[in-house]
Chain A
């Protein structure tokens, strides 16, 4: 194991009865890194996190922390959560209601042979850092959601853990506060250079906070990589659809195209070039396929008064419904052949419902996929 790896999962599985909650999961958390386990509820991300600290036991595989095995059923090794020395922030925060903020935060130090004065000093420093100065004597029940969250973070960090585990820590906060907390957490993480294993189902949160993301589905890791990489070049349909918005157009392959790409056509016969990543299993002429593109890659302009400048890869579509969102317009547009997609229009002019728009499709940003089972039957 390399020196800069702090937490390592090797082929870890967790079964509940006959159900594989986590199946063959492997990853390494590097020092100073934020790694996010992202996925819908029931995908096994929380179970993975709980196995990291020992609140769940692995059914198979090996978990190592700081170069030492902490859970390995094969070697009959298991280190209790209280002996691992990690910090954890729970979804409900789990602030003990019968203790003050100070007592809550001081709690982890009581088990680490720290002198009374040292405890007080460390707790105050940690509270200061978490922005909780002056709230020491409050009870857990007298705090707002955001304050409880800060206490939970302070308690998890006070004993200088090697790794911080966070289970959906922002899910109980309202939208504005959540954004603020994200910024605060990222700043704190950069300052302390602490390793964080983060669990969330919120893709925006994952993209904003993570150095790397592991998208999980049905107990397995679908893809692991940097947010930019995952966003631009998703490896599986699950990753493509889970991270960010995505327009999917059912097409058929026409012929091989330039730059290693293909030419495809929509139902009504309009064709265009696709030269981005190719994840389709086959791309012979006549094969059904799916073209995926991020909405922000599209260039949309009024069809009237522009002739397209002779550029290729353009489609004419119609605005069906228009929603004013403040900084932009959301438009539900209809592609030739009847496929609908939601795109965002810049507020540079007054758009109208029923108006025809010219859509430029940059070939390099178009991805080729197999059709999903759910869209396959349609056309």
Chain B
């Protein structure tokens, strides 16, 4: 160390400030997230050993576990869960890859609009769409079935929506296919066209190129997307509840729901089922993460050509097929819901006066619809604001600070993605019931807000994180070097650049809050019941006409939010900022 020369002043130097308070704030965030994510799971574990929770002689024991494993229906439920999931994932995968490739890499007309179409399809809420398909192909009332009876003078139902294939069909028509297209299109777009051109010059046809070059190169991405879809499939709930019940098809999640809603409620058994479920899904998620990190960005190069493949004469026929498919996924359900809401008795056209506005009048005068509407709006807005704020904070800590616990924080935000909505719902229910400091909140909308925020935490944090990582440290450093403070830099440089991503997340959380069923299924009862739960109850009870109205409300709000999010995202060129 060279001694300081005389007269050498320390230039406006501040002492190395104790950054302890910063660390402390980060640690508090970590502790809060850890508690909210881990405690519900812990409560489930404890709950699974509680016997006779609602009576005087409660205690602990293995009774719940024994009861679960002595149920013959459980094995059937597990079998159904697996076969249903794999079947629809396989179908969705094949068509998803083809459609994504057509949109991203060929001269398919209006491919940008088709992509937006699949974005809308992705956000079509499952319950209203399920209702639409019941109205179309349900036994007894389905329009298609009745038309077939008239046309071909037959006396049986051609289409049976309340069936194993019915469940598969509705899933493929909602998120299963749309999410594959949504995730694969950007990945396909980043592939260097030189790979395809090379195959073409070697004599491969367009379709051989897809099969032998594009699919193998994109295989890591395709596998990651498929496993992700499989995890989501295993967690599916509402479609199975509505369509499976009449056909006596149980899946795992509906078994949990029935246990909680049974008389008396069997929380212990539901907890056991949830724990087993978690034990089965966690390895799958670990596999997906491990594989994704090893292989994800294999084929993306910096400089690549965007040349598209020529489909030739098939261009317009293929376009028509996809437009037809998209209409079946979006316009058709919407039209059926509108029609259903104006019919006296759904599907019965031979009444003297089949059309009526009385359902609408009733819906807007009835207390429960109005109350549910405002509950949903409050839930959506509160969850959206809380989500934007907390996800940004968590993302900033994990990406931009050197906080020691940032890796753990990152891991914790992933966990809720693993936990099925219904299981999380049960865990949160038990958390609020068991901790005295939370009791005053029990039965308020706060609980639902919390459930939605925890449930959307993984996606929200990841997207804001991606936006922050895209920024590149130098954009901030250039600001500091220019003389701006940390706060000014955050306000003038960081915030404007990630604002679109945050807004998109806000809208997506809002849309989730409006349409989500599983996450709130065990929490949103009585005074805090949101639209989605009201719809579930209408459908479960067979009240299709008011169900259609509630479904329409949910669909319109959700799809509007999704379109707005898409618009903001496109305007800002998300993912390209700062590169």
Contact = CB atoms under 8 A, between A and B. Distances in A.
Interface in B469-521: 472, 474-475, 477-485, 488, 492-493, 496-497
A75 B483 CA distance: 24
Interface centre among A1, A53, A97, A159 (most CB of B within 10 A): A97
Given A62-B2, A76-B15, A108-B482, A55 B9 contact: no
Given A55-B477, A62-B1, A94-B477, A108 B11 contact: no
A311 interface: no
Helix, strand, loop or mixed for chain A's interface? mixed
Contacts of B91: none
B22 to A, nearest CB: 14
B16 interface: yes
B8 A107 contact: no
Contacts of B11: 65-66, 68-70, 79, 83
Given A62-B1, A68-B8, A97-B577, A81 B481 contact: yes
A77 B10 CA distance: 7
A67 B4 CA distance: 11
Contact of B485 (A74, A82, A85, A165): A82
B229 to A, nearest CB: 34
A67 B481 CA distance: 19
Contacts of A11: 1-2
Nearest to B477: A55
A86 interface: yes
B20 interface: no
A180 B90 CA distance: 57
A78 B16 contact: yes
A308 B14 CA distance: 72
Given A11-B2, A69-B9, A78-B14, A111 B481 contact: no
Contacts of A27: none
A112 B474 contact: no
B483 A112 contact: yes
Interface in A91-144: 91-92, 94, 96-98, 107-108, 110-112
A155 interface: yes
Contacts of B472: 92, 94
Contact of B481 (A1, A10, A53, A70): A53
Interface in A310-332: none
A61 B484 contact: no
A22 B480 CA distance: 23
A87 B483 CA distance: 9
Given A92-B474, A111-B484, A60 B1 contact: yes
B276 interface: no
B4 A75 contact: yes
Contact of A75 (B10, B479, B481, B493): B10
A4 to B, nearest CB: 15
A81 B480 contact: yes
Nearest to A92: B474
A64 B8 contact: yes
A67 B496 CA distance: 38
Contact of A68 (B10, B480, B481, B497): B10
B10 A69 contact: yes
B578 interface: yes
Contacts of B480: 54-55, 80-82
B12 interface: yes
Interface in A205-235: none
A351 interface: no
A69 B4 contact: yes
A90 B2 CA distance: 31
B539 to A, nearest CB: 46
Interface string A38-68: 0000000000000001110000111011111
B361 interface: no
A85 B483 contact: yes
A1 B5 contact: yes
A360 B137 CA distance: 96
A61 to B, nearest CB: 7
Given A64-B8, A96-B475, A87 B13 contact: no
A88 interface: yes
B10 A74 contact: no
Given A94-B475, A96-B493, A97-B497, A76 B481 contact: no
Contact of B482 (A61, A64, A68, A107): A107
A183 to B, nearest CB: 25
10 contacts: A10-B2, A53-B481, A69-B9, A79-B14, A81-B481, A82-B480, A85-B483, A107-B492, A108-B482, A159-B482
Q: Which 3 A-B pairs have the closest CB atoms?
A: A68-B11, A108-B482, A94-B474
Given A1-B5, A85-B483, A159-B483, 10 more contacts: A62-B2, A64-B8, A65-B11, A70-B11, A78-B13, A81-B480, A82-B484, A83-B483, A107-B479, A159-B482
Interface of A: 1, 10-11, 53-55, 60-62, 64-70, 74-83, 85-88, 90-92, 94, 96-98, 107-108, 110-112, 152, 155-156, 159, 165
